[in-house]
């Protein structure tokens, strides 16, 4: 179908155009569209049959007409040029330069959708990434090749957290070949400037590739933006042996775009109007994190999404949580109490934590200590809600102790501000300090030998 | 019979015309790449095809070739220790052939076609053989003896059979039936969507022991039974499923990762070969088949993966083995059904799922069971099915959970609030149930202890009592409770912390034999009874909580199997002494 131009648009509906007379457009083929006023758009075939192709347009359909618009089928599915030159550059949501620099020219063109990694070829992620944040390193450890999203809400400082992670993340004892790929999906220019400034200040901009689709940009581009970013990341990781951290924000806008197309296609909607295949679609993004046996690089993903009305059961966080290896959940209550980062440790989770911690990675006492802190914090929070009803005086002595642990946990462990970069030893030691309130038998999650070795005792034998 | 032509492509659904003589569920090869698909609707010579591979780049006008065969599996030695995708392509061979990323249009035989297996006949020339009869054996792995069986519709005289080395495509013998001569190969073929028949089903009476205390003690599943594990994300479905796959006392394990995370399948792949079967000390992989269709692999193959897994399970059941199949997660399978149904523009039922969702789930679970398999001598095999369900938002009222609960007899309710306080396995002891528990009382009496049923009942009552007392505590505070009630709470806490909580990552705690479970539970409850007596006579719960024997109890679960007996005996002694001393203190 390559090179043939059609002027036979029969219908324009939302982001979709229906081109007639096309006999063999490929599914997923890219389309160039020329508007009567000379403007150009890109599109992609969503449904193809003899005589008709349904094309999704990446960009506004404003000014498009059924008669004067020309569509040209390129004969290619979505491909992008990749090269080393991409680091330090800023692109728009379709991969065109946004920084007045030259276009990326490269012989190496790769498929944007990419095929899945064979599970047999994957290497189990197990290298501990020290983010310098106690609540992540200590309680929900991030490892190389993991996908760990941040579940946030509007008005919460998820951007600060993501930027801090990007700034501080390092692997213990490893020499670095590290880069960042940043994909902005429908965020404001203010937010995007914040990230650029952060990368500049930390000196990371030179090893960062940015793909920016701002809220003013066409929503349909949002389908492509994360795929461009991930394709770049895979190139850097698997062809250039880099350890790539991919930050994607905000996945909620991506899902909205997906819903928009589904609605335009008059598909049977799933939950809350989102398409039934949203799980499959999201996994085609998230599953592109990982490590491959015999290759040196890795792709680690931190997607950010804002939960509508802080509802974690909303389809977007829900389906994400089923695909990703855990989640970091932000809490409005903690944010209101002035704690930064306001991470709700109890609902957060890192599924790959066990592979990345313990002897040889962090420290042998890590697992037990983290479990004990979880249990103590949970019990302390229960005590807190109980105290709200019956008064603190009516609590049992044990509950009072746990309440104290919980308060200290939020104030001393979780709260660390924007600039503090804690080593894993510091994090674990703070944890032991908090637990010094408890007696040995109340620390039933930790092996006695570790209590003896690492426990911080003001008085011997327990408080 | 003619080839067809692609007329429309919409995601994983392709329409083709010109496929004369095509039958429902025939497998077809599409386009230049030869993508694998299956016919799911016929209208005249127009066929609707669900494609097991990504259709990007496919064009109308490309050729469709009908293989005239429904989706079938090759069953024979070599299945064990394999890892397959949703349509039985070995992923290790696929990687060797086409690289780290999954490429399209590959046809790879499921079994190693060249490897020679030692075949040892158990029947001799001239024997009259019947359907399902075992004519010979192959040592497939050190753990499993593979049985070569006569196909279901064949009966007659065994005219040839000889010992020797054969590959899976070679003939090991032949049978003269009334009408013809039939060759018997080392492997056979079976259509995935058709259940392998059995003579009759038996009531499940023996528990599938899993080494997981909360499951074995409180909510056991029977060999040949069905169980559902619904739970929101992060509540530990996958860990529970993997623990079952590791420790269940089943001969063969089929683990189907249906639409789940790639890194998790990798974890299974790296950990299973290192783990030992607690009884035989052989690597667990030698009894395991993995089916991995990760979430980013094509959606139609996800739909097929469940059937691929269960067909292989049935095959080993027919040899007379106990087989357990874990499917993680059936929700992803249901969503695949929904996606295909949506593309077919079928009228949706609840939440967009097709109207036949309930029927399909019921059909799947009905393929499990303990059964007398087809064979002239009585041979019994079982197939236990454990399906994880991932309800959106953790809401069990959604269609997949509800339809699953209607047909499964064990319900392990995973609870996000338990998970968030790191109580693992986070199986809620108040809402979970097992309909087999009563039928299997006899087995526990004979094999574990006479008082087992009573102990279980006592423990469940204490936990129930705790939840009532917790409500009172919420109102008046703990200190306002009378001492006897505080005692109940102590015992309940001990059951929760020293018994129900079990670490999958601790070398010792990850597996608890039923014997150790019995000893541990008996010790905890004995302490509870003594505490309750002591309180009646005037002791306080805080004083009892500080006893040495209390601490000893909390050590039992971390103690190795061979040392448990001694520790429990010591604990009983110490308990006796301490309570005696306490009584003297209180009464004087």
- As a whole number, the mean pLDDT across chain B is 92
Residue B349 has pLDDT above 60, yes or no: yes
pLDDT at A175: 60
Q: How far apart are CA A292 and CA A289, in angstroms?
A: 10
Provide CB contacts within 8 A for B93, sequence distance 6+. B108
pLDDT at A459: 47
| Alpha-carbon separation of residue A77 from A109, A110, A454, B472 (angstroms) | 11, 10, 58, 65
Paired with B198 in beta bridges are B373
Q: How far apart are CA A417 and CA A369, in angstroms?
A: 23
| Chain B CA closest to residue A399 | B478
pLDDT at B393: 78
Q: The whole model's pTM is what? A: 0.91
Instruction: Tell me if residue B391 falls in helix, strand or coil.
Output: coil
Structure tokens belonging to residue B163: 């010992």
Measured between CB atoms, does A119 come within 8 Å of chain B?
A: yes
Task: Answer yes or no: do B91 and A118 touch at CB < 8 A.
Answer: yes
Which chain A residues touch B505 with a CB distance below 8 Å? 354, 367
Q: How far apart are CA A223 and CA A253, in angstroms?
A: 10
Task: Answer yes or no: do A315 and B265 touch at CB < 8 A.
Answer: no
Structure tokens belonging to residue B404: 């699953």
DSSP string covering B74-95, please?
EESTT-TT-EE-TTS-BHHHHH
pLDDT at A8: 87
User: Which of B86, B238, B263, B503 to mutate against chain A (most A CBs within 10 Å)?
Assistant: B263
Minimal CA separation from B72 to chain A, in Å: 22
In chain B, what are the helix, strand and coil shares in percent, each to the nearest 5?
40, 25, 35
How many residues are given for chain B?
Answer: 588
Which residues 353-382 on chain B approach chain A with CB closer than 8 angstroms? Answer: none
Measured between CB atoms, does A121 come within 8 Å of chain B?
A: yes
CA atoms within 13 A on the CB side of A213: 28
Q: Chunk chain A into consecutive blocks of 10 residues (it has 463) and report each block's average pLDDT, rounded to whole numbers.
A: 77 91 91 91 92 91 87 91 92 91 89 86 92 94 95 94 89 77 94 91 89 91 94 94 93 94 85 87 93 93 94 92 93 94 93 90 92 92 89 86 95 93 95 90 84 73 39
Nearest to B56 among A77, A354, A375 (CB): A77
DSSP string covering A143-207, please?
ETT-B--EEE-TTS-HHHHHHHHHHH-EETTPPP-EEEEEEEEEE-HHHHHHHHHHHHHTT-GGG
Task: Answer yes or no: do A267 and B342 touch at CB < 8 A.
Answer: yes
pLDDT at A457: 62
Q: What is the DSSP letter of A239?
A: I
Structure tokens belonging to residue B572: 């009983």
Nearest to A268 among B104, B296, B348 (CB): B348
Q: How far apart are CA A246 and CA A232, in angstroms?
A: 10
| Alpha-carbon separation of residue B164 from A89, A262, B118, B119, B188 (angstroms) | 66, 60, 6, 5, 18
Q: How far apart are CA A90 and CA A183, in angstroms?
A: 10
pLDDT at B236: 85
Q: How far apart are CA A279 and CA B335, in angstroms?
A: 8
Which chain B residues touch A270 with a CB distance below 8 Å? 338, 351-352
CB B503 within 8 A of CB B509: yes
Q: How far apart are CA A233 and CA A243, in angstroms?
A: 9
CA B524 to chain centre: 31
Match 């150009």 to its residue by tokens. A40
Instruction: Tell me if residue B383 falls in helix, strand or coil.
Output: strand
Nearest in space to B267 (alpha carbons), one of A377, A101, A239, A120: A120
Residue B432 has pLDDT above 90, yes or no: yes
pLDDT at B484: 93
Q: How far apart are CA A306 and CA B494, in angstroms?
A: 40
pLDDT at A462: 39
| Alpha-carbon separation of residue B137 from B111, B160, B302, B373 (angstroms) | 17, 16, 33, 17
Measured between CB atoms, does A325 come within 8 Å of chain B?
A: yes
* Cβ neighbours of B252 (radius 10 Å): 25
Which chain A residues touch B100 with a CB distance below 8 Å? 117-118, 121, 238, 292-295
Banded model confidence at residue B63, pLDDT cuts 50, 70, 90: very high
Residue B300 has pLDDT above 90, yes or no: no
Banded model confidence at residue B494, pLDDT cuts 50, 70, 90: very high
pLDDT at B269: 83
Q: Where is mean pLDDT largest: A271-275, B99-103, B373-377?
A: B373-377
| Chain B CA closest to residue A270 | B352
Banded model confidence at residue B392, pLDDT cuts 50, 70, 90: confident
CB B341 within 8 A of CB B354: yes
Minimal CA separation from A273 to chain B, in Å: 10
H or E element in which residue B252 lies? strand B252-260
Task: Answer yes or no: do B61 and A146 touch at CB < 8 A.
Answer: no
Match 């599996």 to its residue by tokens. B73
Residues A39-46: contacts with CB under 8 Å, at least 24 apart? A39/A63, A42/A94, A43/A17, A43/A71, A44/A78, A45/A73, A46/A16, A46/A261, A46/A265, A46/B10
pLDDT at A403: 95
Q: How far apart are CA A342 and CA A157, in angstroms?
A: 8
* Residue environment code for B410-434, b if the CB has 16+ CB neighbours within 10 A, otherwise e: bbbbbbbebbbbbbbbbbbbeebeb
CA A446 to chain centre: 32
In tens, the pLDDT along B190-230 reads 999 999 999 999 999 899 999 999 999 999 999 999 999 99
Q: Judge residue B182's burial from the number of C-beta atoms within 10 Å of its C-beta, 0-12 exposed, 13-18 middle, 19 or more buried.
A: middle
Measured between CB atoms, does A117 come within 8 Å of chain B?
A: yes
Nearest in space to A426 (alpha carbons), one of A418, A436, A416, A417: A416
Phi and psi (nearest 5°) for B322?
Answer: -90, 120
Which chain B residues touch A47 with a CB distance below 8 Å? 8-10
CB A227 within 8 A of CB A286: no
Measured between CB atoms, does A24 come within 8 Å of chain B?
A: yes
pLDDT at A3: 65
* Cβ neighbours of A68 (radius 10 Å): 13
ipTM attached to this prediction: 0.86
Match 């957060």 to its residue by tokens. A348
| Chain A CA closest to residue B502 | A445
In tens, the pLDDT along B220-276 reads 999 999 999 998 888 888 889 989 998 999 999 999 999 888 888 888 888 888 888
Biggest alpha carbon distance in chain A?
Answer: 87
Q: How far apart are CA B322 and CA B252, in angstroms?
A: 6
DSSP string covering B24-79, please?
TTEEEEETTTTEEEEEEEEETTEEEEEESS--TT--TT-EEEEEEEESEEEESTT-
Nearest to B474 among A26, A323, A389 (CB): A389
Q: How far apart are CA B240 and CA B229, in angstroms?
A: 9
Nearest in space to A133 (alpha carbons), one of A106, A108, A100, A167: A167
């Amino acid at each position: 179908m390559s090179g043939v131009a059609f002027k036979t648009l029969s219908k324009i509906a939302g982001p979709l155009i229906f081109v007639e007379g096309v006999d063999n457009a490929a599914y997923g083929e890219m389309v160039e569209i020329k508007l009567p006023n000379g403007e150009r758009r890109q599109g992609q075939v969503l449904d193809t049959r003899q005589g008709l192709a349904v094309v999704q347009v990446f960009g506004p359909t404003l000014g498009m007409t059924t008669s004067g618009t020309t569509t040209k089928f390129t004969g290619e599915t979505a491909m992008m040029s990749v090269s080393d030159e991409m680091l330090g550059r800023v692109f728009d949501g379709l991969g065109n330069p946004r920084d007045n620099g030259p276009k990326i020219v490269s012989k190496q063109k790769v498929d944007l959708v990419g095929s899945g990694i064979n599970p047999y070829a994957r290497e189990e992620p197990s290298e501990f990434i020290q983010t310098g944040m106690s609540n992540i390193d200590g309680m929900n450890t991030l490892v190389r090749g993991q996908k760990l999203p941040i579940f946030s809400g509007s008005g919460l400082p998820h951007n600060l957290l993501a930027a801090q992670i990007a700034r501080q993340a390092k692997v213990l004892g490893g020499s670095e070949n590290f880069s960042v790929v940043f994909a902005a999906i429908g965020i404001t220019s203010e937010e995007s400037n914040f990230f650029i400034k952060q990368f500049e200040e930390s000196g990371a901009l030179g090893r960062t590739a940015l793909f920016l689709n701002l809220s003013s940009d066409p929503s349909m581009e949002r389908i492509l933006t994360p795929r461009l970013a991930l394709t770049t990341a895979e190139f850097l990781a698997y062809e250039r042996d880099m350890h790539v951290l991919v930050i994607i924000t905000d996945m909620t806008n991506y899902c909205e775009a997906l819903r928009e197309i589904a609605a335009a296609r008059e598909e049977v909607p799933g939950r809350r109007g989102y398409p039934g295949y949203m799980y499959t679609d999201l996994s085609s993004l998230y599953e592109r994190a990982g490590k491959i046996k015999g290759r040196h690089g890795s792709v680690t993903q931190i997607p950010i999404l804002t939960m509508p009305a802080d509802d974690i059961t909303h389809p977007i966080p829900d389906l994400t949580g089923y695909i990703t290896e855990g989640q970091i959940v932000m809490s409005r209550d903690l944010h209101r109490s002035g704690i930064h980062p306001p991470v709700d440790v109890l609902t957060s989770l890192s599924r790959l934590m066990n592979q990345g911690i313990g002897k040889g990675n962090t420290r042998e006492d890590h697992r037990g200590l983290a479990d004990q802190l979880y249990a103590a914090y949970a019990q302390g929070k229960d005590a807190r809600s109980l105290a709200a009803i019956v008064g603190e005086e009516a609590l049992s002595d044990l509950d009072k102790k746990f309440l104290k642990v919980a308060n200290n946990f939020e104030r001393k462990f979780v709260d660390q501000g924007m600039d503090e970069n804690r080593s894993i030893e510091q994090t674990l030691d703070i944890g032991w300090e908090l637990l010094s309130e408890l007696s040995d038998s109340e620390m039933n999650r930790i092996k006695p030998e570790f209590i003896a070795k690492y426990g911080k005792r003001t008085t011997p034998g327990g408080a | 019979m003619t080839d067809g032509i692609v007329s429309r492509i919409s995601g994983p659904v392709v329409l083709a015309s010109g496929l004369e003589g095509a039958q429902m569920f025939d497998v077809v090869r599409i386009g230049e790449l030869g993508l694998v698909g299956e016919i799911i609707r016929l209208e005249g010579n127009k066929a609707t095809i669900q494609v097991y591979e990504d259709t990007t780049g496919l064009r109308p006008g490309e050729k469709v070739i009908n293989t005239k065969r429904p989706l079938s599996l090759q069953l024979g030695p070599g299945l064990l220790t394999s890892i397959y995708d949703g349509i039985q392509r070995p992923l290790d061979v696929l990687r060797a052939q086409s690289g780290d990323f999954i490429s399209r249009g590959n046809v790879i035989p499921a079994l190693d076609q060249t490897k020679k297996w030692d075949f040892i006949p158990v029947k001799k020339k001239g024997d009259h053989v019947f359907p399902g009869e075992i004519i010979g054996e192959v040592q497939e792995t050190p753990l499993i003896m593979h049985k070569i069986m006569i196909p279901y519709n064949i009966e007659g005289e065994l005219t040839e059979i000889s010992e020797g080395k054969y590959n899976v495509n070679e003939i090991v013998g032949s049978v003269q039936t009334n009408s013809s001569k039939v060759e018997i190969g080392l492997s056979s073929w079976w259509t995935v969507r058709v259940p392998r028949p059995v003579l009759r089903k038996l009531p499940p009476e023996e528990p599938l022991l899993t080494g997981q205390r909360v499951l074995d003690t409180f909510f056991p599943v029977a060999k040949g039974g069905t169980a559902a594990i619904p739970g929101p994300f992060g509540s530990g479905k996958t860990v529970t499923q993997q623990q079952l796959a590791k420790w269940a006392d089943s001969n063969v394990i089929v683990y189907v990762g249906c639409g789940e995370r790639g890194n998790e399948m990798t974890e299974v792949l790296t950990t299973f070969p290192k783990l030992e079967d607690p009884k035989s000390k052989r690597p667990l992989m030698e009894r395991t088949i993995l089916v991995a269709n990760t979430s980013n692999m094509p959606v139609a193959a996800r739909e097929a993966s469940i059937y691929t897994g269960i067909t292989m399970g049935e095959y080993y059941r027919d040899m007379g083995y106990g087989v357990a199949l874990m499917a993680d997660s059936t929700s992803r399978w249901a969503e695949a059904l929904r996606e295909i149904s949506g593309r077919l523009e079928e009228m949706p039922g609840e939440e967009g799922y097709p109207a036949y969702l309930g029927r399909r789930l019921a059909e799947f679970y009905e393929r499990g069971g303990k059964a007398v398999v087809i064979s002239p001598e009585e041979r019994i095999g079982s197939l236990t099915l454990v399906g994880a369900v991932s309800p959106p938002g953790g809401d069990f009222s959604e269609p997949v959970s509800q339809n699953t609960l209607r047909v499964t007899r064990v319900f392990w309710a995973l609870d996000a609030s338990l998970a968030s306080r790191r109580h693992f396995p986070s199986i809620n002891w108040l809402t979970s149930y097992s309909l087999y528990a009563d039928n299997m009382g006899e087995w526990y009496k004979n094999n574990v202890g006479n008082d087992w049923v009573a102990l279980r009942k006592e423990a469940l009552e204490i936990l129930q009592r705790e939840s009532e007392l917790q409500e009172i505590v919420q109102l008046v505070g703990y200190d306002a409770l009378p001492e006897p009630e505080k005692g109940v709470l102590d015992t309940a806490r001990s059951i929760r912390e020293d018994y129900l909580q079990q670490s999958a990552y601790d070398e010792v705690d990850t597996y608890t034999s039923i014997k150790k479970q019995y000893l541990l539970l008996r010790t905890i409850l004995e302490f509870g009874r003594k505490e309750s007596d002591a309180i009646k006579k005037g002791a306080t719960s805080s004083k009892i909580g500080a006893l040495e024997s209390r601490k000893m109890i909390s050590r039992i679960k971390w103690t190795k199997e061979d040392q448990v007996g001694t520790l429990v005996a010591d604990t009983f002694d110490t308990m006796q002494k301490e309570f005696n001393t306490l009584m003297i203190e209180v009464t004087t």
